[in-house]
Amino acid sequence: QVQVVQSGAEVKKPGASVMVSCRTTGYDFSDYGIDWIRQAPGQGLEWMGWISGHNGNIKESQRFQGRITMSADTSTSTAYMELRSLTSDDTAIYYCARDRDDAFDVWGQGTVVTVSS
Amino acid sequence: DIQMTQSPSSLSASIGERVTMTCRASQSIGTSLNWYQQRPGKAPELLIYGASSLQSGVPSRFSGGGSGTDFSLTITSLHPEDFATYSCQQSFSFPPTFGQGTKLEIK
């Protein structure tokens, strides 16, 4: 059974960084990519970036370039997303999802990130 | 970026009713359109991919249609668990983009 499990909630101060992890089980990690998608309170879904589980290639949304770092550890089938220079606008639920090329077919449970002084 | 516009933004319906919601792309995307269901407090789940293909395990009361710029999601005979927010997403070109969602509420 394919599962995607994310790390727990975070509270950060403005200017800080946050790292969210995304541990996958039940499939060959190298056969799929992982996407990062966020949802601000009361808002729609916003795609942030993608990392290949095969070779670590990355695609990023222009909105986050320079502030986001994605990585993957194939030995533990875990993807990571770090977002830097946080502001209150980054308060959101952050999701990772398995990328099937045509759709995001398995999602993590979400990680709540709150940015507050 | 391709803009995705969903309508209506909210919809009230009763158990057993049939509902249809729409998604429009700012340019032609063929059939590279996916629908996700998000229940309150939960992560999104893939419902339909390729505009009309049902994801494994999704009940047959859900159906999707359309191509080019105009797409629809229809739910026949609403069940209590169907009251959720539905979002469309285009996978035609980078970056992938989502609509703002249609919230389906119980009347």
pLDDT, tens only, B20-75: 999 999 999 999 999 999 999 999 999 999 999 999 999 999 999 999 999 999 99
Q: Specify the residue for token string 């009230």.
A: B12
Mark yes or no for CB contact A45/B32 under 8 Å: no
Per-residue confidence (pLDDT) for residue B78, from 0 to 100: 96
Tokens linked to A23: 């541990």
For residue A97, list chain B residues with Cβ-Cβ distance below 8 A. Answer: 44
Mark yes or no for CB contact A45/B44 under 8 Å: yes
What would the pLDDT profile of A30-73 be if each residue is shown by its tens digit? Answer: 999 999 999 999 999 999 999 999 999 999 999 998 999 999 99
Residue B40 DSSP label: T
How many interface pairs between A and B have CB atoms less than 8 angstroms apart?
Answer: 53
Per-residue confidence (pLDDT) for residue A55, from 0 to 100: 94
Per-residue confidence (pLDDT) for residue B7, from 0 to 100: 98
Give B17 to chain A, closest Cα distance, Å.
26
Closest chain A residue to the Cα of B89, Cα to Cα: A103
For residue A46, list chain B residues with Cβ-Cβ distance below 8 A. Answer: 98
* Parallel, antiparallel or unpaired: strands B102-106 and B10-13: parallel
**Rounded distance, CA A57 to CA A62, Å?**
16
What would the pLDDT profile of A86-114 be if each residue is shown by its tens digit? Answer: 999 999 999 999 999 899 999 999 999 99
Q: Specify the residue for token string 């990585």.
A: A71
Q: Specify the residue for token string 């200017």.
A: A15
